[in-house]
Structure 1
Amino acid sequence: MIEWSKNKSIKWNEKLIVHSFPEGRGVIANEDILENEILVSVPLQWLIHSKCKFSHDNIHITNNNTPRIVNLNTIIDNLDSKQRISFHLIFERLLGSNSNWFEYLEHVPSEYFTTSMFTDEEIQSMVYPIFINEAKKLKNEMMDSYKRYCIVLEKYFNLNEEMHINGVNNWSCNVKLLMDLDLFKWSCGVIKTRSYYYDRNLVTQQNSQKRLQSTTNVVEDKDDCTIVPLADLFNHSSSVDTEAKFNDRMNCYQVRTKTSFKKGDQVLISYGKHSNFTLLNFYGFVVENNSLDSITLDPKEAIPEYLFTETISNSLQLKRKYEILSQYGLSLTNGKFEVINDSQQPFTWNYLTTLRVLLLTPKELDKKKETMIFYNDESPSIENDKLLSNLLRPIIENHLSLLVDNTTPPIKKRFEIDYLLKSTKEIWEKCLNYINNL
């Protein structure tokens, strides 16, 4: 693949070598890599995005009726941005050695293990309702996209037709493979796990989105990603700093490290600051001892209704509490209500502070005790601590109970799921320990 890239004017940093690690492929520094070095630079023509060119635009369709020519660009005009990339990936893979991306696609993994790829049994083995519901949602979104994708393609093809390309000998393919579910899932895995942010197509998205809404009644997601050949060889670390963007002056996509690496080090890039659940959903792996682990709570659960139910006796106090929250940029509707992997304070500051303000007594409001919360970062009173503990305890205990696998016998789990459940349980145990020490 590196040799292929040289023939395509892709600039791969010569200090880097591809290496096979026990957990998979990665990249090692053959010499010291300095801060701000470019790791890979890929010309525009080799990016795979919603508006890139096909190796062959026109295909000849044959069946028992009259042969005809179909222009692929006509078809993809009626697909959303991610579906267009899926179609491109599937078609180029079916082309085999006739594809301009053959040597690259030949090395792209054939299977992906994000939660949208899980079987129904694997999803149920996640036990925790927060995980199960999100995994189901992501899988349903993928399957819904597949159904809409097939509806569009079926307008142009019959399943018994064959594709040919003028001037390409000994290549033909049944059109039903363009709608093969396994190939579609593979393409979704490639997009989800290997794409980079790419904003050049966002400018022209508005008009195409209007057209899509009129034909599919579905609002398109942002046309904001691209596959960058070779740039997907790097593994992830949240502790490094990376810059990845299109260079308009050079007309290429560049991945630049803001972190230096010594000779012999694995060269890593950052996919972003993500919890293990997010990493599993979108990249198919988890990280041991992930300091960024967190669980987002439903606002209805995080803030019990009685705290903001207005009555004749509390209306003025509640109004004052809302004013305090607003003054410091806090809100009941868009707050960050999370528990996090932090032994000292396993609740986000936003969440804990919102609760403390809502739990202020009339006397504490009169004495402006909120200043202790915001200026001293302290509890306003022992009573506030007790009220906070009493509020949080049933929430914590409920989540700990939800993490127990009550199936008999327990469902066998993937390592990633098992680790995710254990680390999530540890976070909630940290929460319990925190309130016990208030």
Structure 2
Amino acid sequence: MALRTVFVFIVTGPYGNMTGRRRRAGRAARTRRQKHENSLRSASLRHLSQYIRLMKFLHQRGFTSTLLQPAVFTDTGRGLQTLRAIKPGHLVISLPESCLLTTLTVLNSYLGEYIKSWKPRLSPLLVLCVFLVCERHRGEASDWFPYVDLLPASYTCPVYFGDDVMDALPACVRRRGLEQREAVQEMFSSNQDFFRSLQPVLNQSTEDVLTYEAFRWAWCSVNTRSVFMSHRPSSFLSGPDRFALAPFLDLLNHRADVQVEASFNDATRCYEIRSVCGTRRFHQAFINYGCHDNQRLLLEYGFICSDNPHSVVYVDVDLLCDVLKADRSLDQKIKFLRENNFLQNLTISSEGPSWRLLTALRLFSLPQTMYHQWKTVLLGQTLCEEKEQWIVGTAKILCQRLLRDTFTALDKISNLLQQSEQPIREQLEVVMSLRQEERCILGRCLEVLDESLKQTDELLPCQQDADAVS
């Protein structure tokens, strides 16, 4: 479940200095920056009836906003734009508690008596999902219609993907995407009795209102848009309750290099966001969901972040086993790595294989007769030059295999795009962006590994035990 547990908003403008380093830009740099800024346009959305209705709804609940307006941007789509320059440390937005959609909102609604009396207790996530479905069904009769009406009609999260799109994902994301899809299906199917109990508040049959498609939409709405806000435990609900849907605030887009402070202020009873870096007038304000790579962003939020410094490619255990299948002690080594929690986050970046991946490969380079060294290798011990060269060579093979899979996936996506219509095209385009980024990372990593091998003198084959990797 994705919650925006780390909130980082407001940049020094999308094109300002956000690294804290000052450089004297030359004429060519200034020209490039000017062209980039000129190519990115925005258009205000505040005059559209949907946004007028939303702002009126929020103002009635005590929210006033003079710093931000909804706008559409050529590079990110819908977002929020600053109306005047914001200085570092200044309050950017303060959303009253009455504007937040939480489980308390639902418990105090027409659904409250049904939820409070239901046994076993329902989860906060389920309660919010059901409320969103019912409010969308009620249309303009809903108190929350101005907000629900602006929620996306569909999402580009894997839970929405059909099998063809799912198969185009990298192995690690595909596995987690399938698990996510199964979890949503299970939540839907296991609560049919509760859904049927809500018939008295619906003007159509529950089977027509609380469909899987509607429930999936609501689940994605909560999963991709809720902010982290700890609530007091409720005797009517089961499990931790940390969800809050925040109208207007959730129009903010993610960017990896922004910083802010954000939390619920118990004194003012508002969710407040304070700028760290400040931003220039008429530039876009951003939110940061945390230090997530693009695979995580796609899985949980349904989008890819360009120029993401946290981007990596994951090495799946099945791929490791296939590349190293000649090692007769492979099963024992896999078991040893798993027992030591060393099979997660084996990654490759543009700078090369991660320390965890190289360490795992060092273990694979050892024969079973050197079992006494396995633990010390996990603690960081390096090996002889010949084995280190083997490790680099094996990492190169892994890169090549991953790159081959990436090219195959890109070809498949290209073919599917010619046959598909919206919204399948949107899903494919997000997956294609992920795969294209993966191609760049693997290509640069191969260059790093090739350079590393060139710098090593030619070595004699490593004298290995009969049980060692061949």
Flag whether TM exceeds 0.5 (same fold): yes
Determine the structure 1 residue equivalent to 2:395: 392
- Count the aligned residue pairs: 377
Is the alpha carbon distance of 1:152 and 1:55 closer, same or farther for their aligned partners in structure 2, counting shifts above 3 Å? closer
Determine the structure 2 residue equivalent to 1:64: none
The share of aligned pairs that are identical, in percent, is 18
Structure-2 separation of matches of 1:408 and 1:185: 24
Partner amino acid, structure 2, of 1:94: H
Structure-1 separation of matches of 2:55 and 2:387: 62
Determine the structure 1 residue equivalent to 2:460: none
SS at match of 2:153: coil
Is the alpha carbon distance of 1:331 and 1:356 closer, same or farther for their aligned partners in structure 2, counting shifts above 3 Å? farther
Q: Which one of the candidate residues 412, 420, 434 is aligned to 2:448?
A: 434
8 A Cα contact 1:28 1:267, kept in partner: yes
Determine the structure 1 residue equivalent to 2:32: none
* Residue 199 (str. 1) matches residue 230 (str. 2): yes
Partner amino acid, structure 2, of 1:402: D
User: What is the CA-CA distance between 1:90 and the residue it aligns to?
Assistant: 1.6
Determine the structure 2 residue equivalent to 1:184: 215
Partner amino acid, structure 1, of 2:70: V
SS at match of 1:267: strand
Unaligned ranges ≥5, structure 2: 1-53, 418-424, 453-470
SS at match of 2:191: helix
8 A Cα contact 1:307 1:358, kept in partner: no
Larger helix percent? 2
User: What is the CA-CA distance between 1:290 and the residue it aligns to?
Assistant: 2.4
User: What is the CA-CA distance between 1:357 and the residue it aligns to?
Assistant: 7.0
Is the alpha carbon distance of 1:408 and 1:223 closer, same or farther for their aligned partners in structure 2, counting shifts above 3 Å? closer
Q: Residue deviations 1:184-217, cap 9 Å, x none?
A: 122112112111112224x458x954xxxxxxxx
Determine the structure 2 residue equivalent to 1:422: 436
User: What is the CA-CA distance between 1:331 and the residue it aligns to?
Assistant: 8.5
Structure-2 separation of matches of 1:246 and 1:178: 34
- For CA contacts below 8 A with separation 6 or more, give which structure has more relative contact order: 2
Determine the structure 1 residue equivalent to 2:61: 8
User: What is the CA-CA distance between 1:355 and the residue it aligns to?
Assistant: 3.9
Q: Residue deviations 1:34-69, cap 9 Å, x none?
A: 22333322333332223334574269xxxxxxxxxx
Partner amino acid, structure 1, of 2:386: E
Determine the structure 1 residue equivalent to 2:152: 109
Partner amino acid, structure 1, of 2:218: S
Partner amino acid, structure 1, of 2:230: D
Q: Residue deviations 1:69-95, cap 9 Å, x none?
A: x64543497422211110111222233
TM-score of the aligned structures, taking structure 1 as reference length = 0.73
Structure-1 separation of matches of 2:137 and 2:108: 11
Structure-2 separation of matches of 1:307 and 1:8: 68
Q: Residue deviations 1:108-151, cap 9 Å, x none?
A: 22222111111222223x15333332222221211111112323
Structure-1 separation of matches of 2:352 and 2:413: 32
Determine the structure 1 residue equivalent to 2:354: 348
* Residue 246 (str. 1) matches residue 254 (str. 2): no
Partner amino acid, structure 2, of 1:74: S
8 A Cα contact 1:87 1:178, kept in partner: no
SS at match of 2:273: strand
8 A Cα contact 1:78 1:152, kept in partner: no
TM-score of the aligned structures, taking structure 2 as reference length = 0.69
Is the alpha carbon distance of 1:111 and 1:347 closer, same or farther for their aligned partners in structure 2, counting shifts above 3 Å? same
Is the alpha carbon distance of 1:109 and 1:246 closer, same or farther for their aligned partners in structure 2, counting shifts above 3 Å? same
Is the alpha carbon distance of 1:127 and 1:238 closer, same or farther for their aligned partners in structure 2, counting shifts above 3 Å? closer
8 A Cα contact 1:280 1:286, kept in partner: yes
Moved more, 268-277 or 44-53: 44-53
Determine the structure 2 residue equivalent to 1:84: 127
Is the alpha carbon distance of 1:272 and 1:2 closer, same or farther for their aligned partners in structure 2, counting shifts above 3 Å? same
Determine the structure 2 residue equivalent to 1:153: 195
Unaligned ranges ≥5, structure 1: 60-69, 165-171, 210-219, 312-317
Is the alpha carbon distance of 1:408 and 1:231 closer, same or farther for their aligned partners in structure 2, counting shifts above 3 Å? closer
8 A Cα contact 2:352 2:449, kept in partner: no
8 A Cα contact 2:72 2:78, kept in partner: yes
Q: Which one of the candidate residues 331, 347, 358 is aligned to 1:339?
A: 347
